[in-house]
Structure 1
């Protein structure tokens, strides 16, 4: 896959909003090592500098994965809290005198979601609707974040693979340079 295609895929994910505030490195698989290493923008002759740069991309991906997983955990905690709140509200509505409290006196229910800063008040029916909408929204966000974790994990794997590929290529090149050249007759058969 070319770097341009990966960046295009990354831009699509960034537009979802999950990675908008995170600096996802432009990682692409190295397909042609000779072409890649001959480009002075990639390799200036210092293999340590190149591998450090590639390893930094992998480290950046690991940091982003941690942030995304923290976001997933917050969404899951919010979802669990909503379930508890719905059960509690259901219990309140079933108690004797609930009709007077919630219908006649029009008592409102306070809603505070863990992933939001403000607390709002709603009538019981509106509160139940808000809970339902929020739960659906959270499920979608969790799936989206999980997809982004998969994508960044893939980029981390590509980064690691690139580091190994570059090191192996460099090691082979250095070994080949240090070997004595073979005589011209090697590889020719008798009688040619």
Structure 2
């Protein structure tokens, strides 16, 4: 009788142990599934982050490409500003004779300060001196008259003035019986002025 009760009790313990093992196995399976789901969610989140970063890089690259291509208007304005800065430091020199060499003029005007560019045009009896500083430019301009060489000859200094650009004259038609005065007027309009500076029209 006692052995039978012991057997029944031990059998129940084995059943309880087996159920507990099954429950633990199910819990382990559930935890494994949860881990897989969490890994998938993490991978999806990382993929979304990578896509967002790639889109941001593409936007920055496109914006920088647009910035690197300035418009023609900005390029023209920049070149005009640079030309105005040069003109603000350039003195126009007139009464330049054939005997005045480049070295003589450079020596005469270097007393005011460093000269970046000295352009001498004997054909128009003028020259242009671009100074490095506004102070040197003002001193040369204020001098008005500068002695060159041994001091027997002098030149005059003036502010460099840019003339407004004029379009080339249109070809004018006239009859064969045009008067001599009309022919002279047309030839005068078509005459090309030889300026000191080929690229721009200035004082001389």
Whichever structure has more strand as a proportion of its residues is: 2
Whichever structure has more helix as a proportion of its residues is: 1
Q: Considering only CA atoms, is the larger Rg found in Structure 1 or Structure 2?
A: 2
Q: Give TM-score scaled by structure 1 length.
A: 0.31
Q: Give TM-score scaled by structure 2 length.
A: 0.29
